[in-house]
Structure 1
Amino acid sequence: MIELLLVDDESYVVESLKQTIPWEELGVSGVHLAFSGQQALDVLERQPIDVMVTDIRMPGISGLELIEQAKKKWKQMKCILLTGYSDFEYAKRAIQLHAFDYLLKPVDDDELMESVSKAIAELNEEWQQPVNKQALASGLDLALLRENLLNDLLLGKKFSEKSLTSLIHTYRIPVSPADPVVMLLIKPGEGFPDFDPDSQNLLTFAISDIAQEVLDEHFHQWYGVSPHGYIAGLIQPKLQQWEYEEELRNPLSAFLTVVKNNVNDHLGGTIAILVTGVIHSPDELPPTYQKCLLAFFQGEQREENNLRFLEDSSAAKTDMKWVRSMYKPPSLIQLLETSQWSAAEKKMDEIFDEMSSLPLSHEHTYEVFFSFSNAFVYLAHKQGQYLSDIDHTMIDIVMGNRTFHTIHGLKEWTFSIFSKLKKEIDTGEKKEKRQIIQQVQEFIAEHLSQDVSVKSIAVQVYLHPVYLSKLFKQETGESLGDYIIRMKMEKAADLLKHTHLKSYEITTQLGYQNPQYFSKMFKKVYGMTPQEFRESGIG
C-alpha cells in the first residue's frame, strides 16, 4: 500500500484534500500532513513516504528546496508540485529536480487523482524492475516477457514513457509503441483442429513466423497471443516511405495477402486478418483492441481467409466515451491491481447505473463487456492464470456461443466473474505472502553472521525495500528491522549460555563491528548487558 504526504503552509488546503479525495480507491493506505518544508522533512524521517504532493511557495523551506533535499535521501519517492504561479522558471526547475508532475492551483480533484494514480503506477513498475532483470538473467523465455508486455498494453495498463522505453530495450523488442504503429489481429480458421495449449503455442509461433518472414524487409514487428486468444501484432515501417495512412494501406494489404496464402500453403489452414489504422500512442491501443474484438464478435471476420481493415467496419464508428464513469480515474484495472475490491465493486455499480439511464444498443452492451473482460483477463494473467480456467463461460462469450441481451444479464455475469476472481486472488495472495515471509525468515536465519539489512533481504526476494517492510509488518505484526535484531540477540543469548566465547567474539559472529552497539541492542531486548545475562544463568 502507498503512503502519501500533503505539504502546504495553508493548512485548510491539505486538510481539504485529505478529506475530499477517495484516497483508498487509489491504493493509498495513509495520508500524512505537513504545514511547512521542515515539518515535511520531519515526517519523512519518521515515516516511509511513497508520494509527496507539495506547494511551491512556502515560508522557510520552499517546495522546490524540499524536493531537492528529500530526493538526496529518498530517491524513489514521487513528487508532485502544486502552485498558483504559472511561471516557466518554476516548471523548469521542477523538471531539473525530476518532479513527477506540476499542477496549477486551485487543483481539480480528478486531475490530482489522475496524477497520483500515474505516480503509483510508475512506482509499481519500478518495484517490479528487479524481478524483470532477474528473470532475464536466469534465462526466462524472452518471448513470454514480450507477450506479457504486449498484453499489458492491450488491456490498458499505464506505463510512464521512461519505464516503457526501458522495458522495450530490456526485452529487445524492435517496435516502440510510443511511435505510430499498426495493429494486426489474426484469427485461425478452418483447417486447424482444436489444439492442446502446447500445440496452440506452436501454431501461433508458425503463423507469426510466416508473417515475420513476409513483412521483415519493410516492417519492424512484435507478436504474441492476445488476452482473448487471437494472434496480435504491432508493426512499424522500417523506412518512412509511407507517410500517410492511405499510402500504407495498399502495400500492407498486398503483403498480408501473401501471409494468408503462405499460411494456407504451408500449414494447411486459413486465417482471418483484421488491420487497424495508424495508432499514435500507447493510450490508443486498448480502445482500438476493443474495437477489433467487437468487429470479430459481430461476425465481420467470420468469413475464412479474409483480410479486412478496421476502418471499414461498423465497430470503428462505435464510441465508448459516453459512459463517463468507465473512464473516470482510477480505472477498474488500477483498482483490481491494488486489490481495492470494495472500490472496484462500487465503480462497476456506477457504470451499470449509468448504463441503465442511457439508450443503449446491443453493440454498446458488448463494448462494456469487453472493457470489463479486459480488466478481468489482465488481472488473471498477472496471477499466472487464464480467466477461462476460473470461469469457462469466458470462452463461450468470446466465441459467440453466448450473448447478453440485457444489462441485467451482463451485470450478473460481471459480478459472478468478479466474485470468483477475488476469491482466487485472495487465496493466491495469502499463500504468496506467506511464502515471501518464510523466505525472508530463512534468509535471516542463514545469514545472522553477516550485516543483514532490509535492502539486502529485499534484493533476495525481488521486492522494493519499502514494500517488503510494510508487508512483513502487516503479516507478522513486527517490523523487519526489529525481527532481525531479535533473531541476532536470540542467537547471542544462545552463545552466551552454551559457549565460553567472549562478548567481542560474539559481536563479530553476529556481523557487528562495535561491541558497545551490540551490548546496547542486547540490553534493549533482554533488559541486561551480555555479561549480566551470562552471570544470571537464565535459561
Structure 2
Amino acid sequence: MRRTVFKRLLLSLIAAVLFITLVTGTLVYSYVNSTLKQEVYSSNIEILGQTKKIVEIALGEIQQTASSLILNRDVQRALWLKWDMNEEYRFLENINDTFRDKVASSRYIQSVYLYSTANGKVISNSGIVDLDGFWYASSIRRFLDEPVFSNWYDTSELVSASGSKENIISYVTSVPASDRGKAGILVINLKEDLLYDAVININNRKLGNVAIINRDGHVLSYKDKSILFTRLDAADSRKMKGNKEGYLIENMNGTEMFVSYIISDFNGWQYVALNPSKEVFQKSNAVLQMTLTISGLCLAVGLLLMALVSGRHYSPIKKMMQAISPRMNQLGDVSAFKDEFSYIQRSFDNLWNQNEKFRSQFLENELILRDHFLLNLVLGKPADAEETKRQIEYYKLDLTPQHYLVLVLRVHDKEQPNGSQEQLINMASYHIRAICEEAIALYARGVVINEVQKREIVLLNFDDGAAESEALDKAREIAVYIRTQVEEQLALLTSIGIGGYYEQARDIHLSYNEAQEALLYERMEGIGSLISIRDLMLDSVNRNAFIAYRNAADKMMSELKTGHLDKALDIKDSIMEQLNGQHATGHQYKHMILTDMVNGIVTVIFELNGQIEDVFGPGYNIYYEFGRQASMPMMQTWFHTIMEQTADYIQRKRDNKNAELVQKVTEYIRGSCAEPHTLQSVADAVFMNAHYFSKVFKEVSGWTFGEYLAEIRLQEACRLLKETNGNIIDIAAASGFGQKQNMIRAFKKSFGMTPTEYRKMGVFERLADGTNTTNDTNLKI
C-alpha cells in the first residue's frame, strides 16, 4: 500500500478536470456550430424566400399571359377552323402580332407558340411552320400524351437562325384549358438568364449560390449553365421530402456543402442555397481551437493545484495511519490492505467489535453474577446469611432467606428414552424452563436454574411457618404439574427428584444433592417418575455402598474415555470382585449398579455421536445381551469384551478425527502457502492449543508444522520457476517466503544453489529423476 489514497485522489481529480474540459469544449463547439448553422440557415431561408417570391411572380405572369391568350377570339378561331393561307393570311398575321406584343410587353417571355391539331401547324411570333419542322415538336407531342392540361418543362437550349444560343424554361398548356380534347397547345418560353439575374440581384452578398430545381432535382436555373441540363445531387429530393424548408450537408464534387432549401407550394420547385461548409464553420473551428487552448492551460494549472491539494488532503490520512499502525498489530501487515481507508475502516471495525463485546459482557454481567450466586447456593458455596440476603435483594429474586426445597428434572424422549435424541431435548430446554416458571408462579415462590449438569433445577421457597410435610406435598404438586405440561406440550417424559426441606439458605445444596440422589433410583421406579428422598426407605449401609459403587463406575467411564483401557478394566474388575464378595448387598442393588455400568458405556458411545451398531455390529442390543449373562463370571467376561470394543471405537474416532483435521490443515496450507501462516495462527483457526496441535500434526503427518510449511513453499517456488517467467521477488511473495532473501536461503539449504541458478541449470529434469527432496510436488499427507 503505497499512498494509494493519494494516487486515487489525484487520478480522480485529473479525470474530473479532463471530463469537464472535454464536455465544456464539446458543448461550446456544439453551441457555436449550431448557432452558425442557424445563422446561415436563417439568412439563406430569407434569400430563398425572396427568390421564391420573385420567381413565382414571374411564373404567375406567364400563366396569366397564357390564360389571356387562350381566351383570345383569334386564337380560338385558329384552333377550330381549317386554314387557307391565301384567304386567311390577314387573320393569321393578327395572331402573330398578338404574340409579338406579348413578347415585347414582358421582360421574361422569349417566345410564344400556338399549335393547332386541326391544321397540324405552329403559329409563332415569327411565322407559321409545320409541326414536323418545328424545333419543339417532341415536347408538344409528349404533352399531347400526358393526362394534364398544363406543365412546366425543364430548361432547354434554343438555337436561333443566327446561331446564337439561349436557355429557356417552357410553360405548356392545352387550349381549351382541359386535359381532354386538346384542340391546340400554347407554348410560352421563359428566358432563364433574365430569371436568374432577377434572383441574384436580391442580395449581392450571396451572388451565384442559389439554384432553382424541379421536383425531380433537375436544375432549371443556376449560375453555372453547364449543369442546367443535369440533376443536382446535393438537392436530394428524398432527404428534402416531407419538409417545406430545411438544411442538410452534402458532398459536391469533393467539396462539403451546407445546403439550405425551400419547396414551393406553387409548382413544387425547390429553391436551394449552396454554401461551402468550410466557410460556414470557420468561426466554429476558431472557437474550438481557442477553447482547447484555454482548456489545456487550465488543465496544466489544475494538475499542479491538484497535486498540491491532494498532498495536503493526504497528510492527515498519513498521520492517522502512523498513529493507528503501532496500536493495531493484530490486523497484520499494512501492505495486505487495499488502501488506507480500508485499513482505517478495519481498525475502527476492530475497535467497535471490541467495544461491543465489552458492552455486551458488561450488560450480561449482572445475569452472569446472578446465575453464579444461585449456582453457589445449589453447589454448597454460599456466602454468610447477611450477604445471601443482600444478594437476593440486589438481584430482585422472589426468595426469602429461609425455607427451601430443590427439584431436579431429567428429561427423556418418548420414542427413544435412552437418550439418542439429546439435540431435541436441548432445543426444548427453553420451553421446559418456561413451564417451570409458570408452575412457580401458580404454586409458590422460587427460581429456575438452567442446565446445571445438563439438568433443570427448580429452587422452591416457602412461607415462614410452613411445615415439612406441607412443603413436600406442595413440591410434589408442582412436580406433577411440570411433568404433565412437559409431556402434553413437548411429548417428552420427565423424571423429577425431590430433595429435602431445609430452613436455611446455606443448606440448599443438601436438598439439591438429595434430589440428585433420588434420581439415581429412576432405574427402579421407571422413566417419568417422581422420586422423593424422604420416600426412599433405605438403610445407611446400602445407601453409602451404592454411592461408592456409583463413584467408582464414573471413574471407570472417565478412564475409558481418555484411552486408559487398562485402568478402566482394573476398576471394573475391582467392582465385580466387591459385588461378588458382598453377600449382604441385595440382588436389586447389584443389578442397579451393573445396569449403571452398562448405561455408562452407552453414554460414552452417544457422547461420541456414535450408535451401538457402530461399535458392536449391526443388530446388536446391548441391554438384551446384558440380560443374557447368567452369572457374575460371565458378566465380568462380557464387560471386559464390550469395554475393549468400546476402547477400540474411541481410538478409531480419535485417530479419524485427528487425520481429518490434519488433512484439512494441509489442504488449506497448500492452497494458501503465500499467506503468513504460523503455528499459533493455524492452531487458533482450528480452536486447538498450539502445543497439542503441533504434537497431533507430527503424529499424523510425520512432519513438524514448520518443516511442512517450508517444504510446501519450496515446492510452490519450484513450480513457479518452472512454469512462469516471474522474477525472484514476485515468486518469493507468491510462494509465501515474503522476502527474496528468505527464498534464496531456502534454495541454498535444499539445493545448494540460488533460485536463478536453479532455473538456468535445468534442475527440473533431475527432479523428475527423483534426485531431490522435493520430487513429490503434491506432498500428500
Structure 2-normalised TM-score? 0.38
CA distance in 2, matches of 1:223, 1:242: 31
1:338 counterpart residue number: 562
Map residues 40-439 of structure 1 onto 2, 5 A cutoff. 177-180=375-378, 182-185=406-409, 201=424, 210-215=435-440, 218-222=446-450, 232-237=455-460, 249-260=472-483, 262=485, 273-277=496-500, 289=516, 292-293=519-520, 295-299=521-525, 307-314=530-537, 317=540, 318-319=542-543, 331-359=555-583, 360-373=585-598, 375-387=600-612, 393-394=621-622, 402=627, 406-439=631-664
CA distance in 2, matches of 1:269, 1:512: 59
What does the per-residue CA deviation read over 1:295-324, in whole Å, with 9 as the maximum and x for residues that have no partner? 23334x58xx86441242146844455897
Partner of 2:674: helix, strand, or coil? coil
Q: Which moved more, 1:507-516 or 1:483-492?
A: 507-516
Q: How far 1:335 sits from its partner (Å)?
A: 1.8
Q: How far 1:446 sits from its partner (Å)?
A: 1.7
Stretches of structure 2 lacking an aligned partner (at least 5 in a row): 1-356, 358-363, 380-405, 502-506, 765-781
Q: How far 1:469 sits from its partner (Å)?
A: 1.1
Q: How far 1:362 sits from its partner (Å)?
A: 1.9
What does the per-residue CA deviation read over 1:204-231, in whole Å, with 9 as the maximum and x for residues that have no partner? 66766533431366222435997xxxxx
Query: Is the 2:679–2:690 Cα contact (8 Å) retained in structure 1?
Result: yes
Query: Is the 2:560–2:568 Cα contact (8 Å) retained in structure 1?
Result: yes
Q: Per the alignment, do residues 422 and 404 of structure 1 end up closer, same or farther by CA in structure 2, a change over 3 Å counting?
A: same
Alpha-carbon RMSD across the aligned residues, in angstroms, is 5.0
Match of 1:502 among 727, 744, 761: 727
The reply on whether 1:480 has 2:705 as its aligned counterpart is: yes
Q: How far 1:508 sits from its partner (Å)?
A: 1.9
Query: Is the 1:175–1:222 Cα contact (8 Å) retained in structure 2?
Result: no
CA distance in 2, matches of 1:244, 1:480: 68
Q: How far 1:188 sits from its partner (Å)?
A: 7.6
Q: How far 1:506 sits from its partner (Å)?
A: 2.1
Query: Is the 2:500–2:515 Cα contact (8 Å) retained in structure 1?
Result: no
Q: How far 1:468 sits from its partner (Å)?
A: 1.5
Q: Per the alignment, do residues 308 and 422 of structure 1 end up closer, same or farther by CA in structure 2, a change over 3 Å counting?
A: closer
CA distance in 1, matches of 2:710, 2:684: 19
What does the per-residue CA deviation read over 1:17-62, in whole Å, with 9 as the maximum and x for residues that have no partner? xxxxxxxxxxxxxxxxxxxxxxxxxxxxxxxxxxxxxxxxxxxxxx
Q: Which structure ranks higher in relative contact order (CA pairs < 8 Å, sequence separation ≥ 6)? A: 1
CA distance in 2, matches of 1:308, 1:327: 21
Q: Per the alignment, do residues 508 and 176 of structure 1 end up closer, same or farther by CA in structure 2, a change over 3 Å counting?
A: farther
Q: How far 1:267 sits from its partner (Å)?
A: 8.1
CA distance in 1, matches of 2:493, 2:760: 85
* One-letter amino acid of the counterpart of residue 258, structure 1: Y
CA distance in 1, matches of 2:495, 2:375: 24
Q: Per the alignment, do residues 524 and 492 of structure 1 end up closer, same or farther by CA in structure 2, a change over 3 Å counting?
A: same
Partner of 2:377: helix, strand, or coil? coil
Q: Per the alignment, do residues 393 and 498 of structure 1 end up closer, same or farther by CA in structure 2, a change over 3 Å counting?
A: closer
CA distance in 1, matches of 2:428, 2:661: 35
2:715 counterpart residue number: 490
CA distance in 1, matches of 2:673, 2:437: 53
What does the per-residue CA deviation read over 1:509-536, in whole Å, with 9 as the maximum and x for residues that have no partner? 2333443233223333334332332232
* One-letter amino acid of the counterpart of residue 292, structure 1: L
1:153 counterpart residue number: none
What does the per-residue CA deviation read over 1:106-139, in whole Å, with 9 as the maximum and x for residues that have no partner? xxxxxxxxxxxxxxxxxxxxxxxxxxxxxxx9xx
State the identity as a percent.
17
Query: Is the 2:498–2:518 Cα contact (8 Å) retained in structure 1?
Result: no
The reply on whether 1:531 has 2:756 as its aligned counterpart is: yes
* One-letter amino acid of the counterpart of residue 524, structure 2: Q
CA distance in 2, matches of 1:468, 1:272: 42
Q: Per the alignment, do residues 367 and 388 of structure 1 end up closer, same or farther by CA in structure 2, a change over 3 Å counting?
A: farther
Q: How far 1:291 sits from its partner (Å)?
A: 5.3
CA distance in 1, matches of 2:676, 2:639: 51
Q: How far 1:470 sits from its partner (Å)?
A: 0.9
Q: How far 1:406 sits from its partner (Å)?
A: 4.3
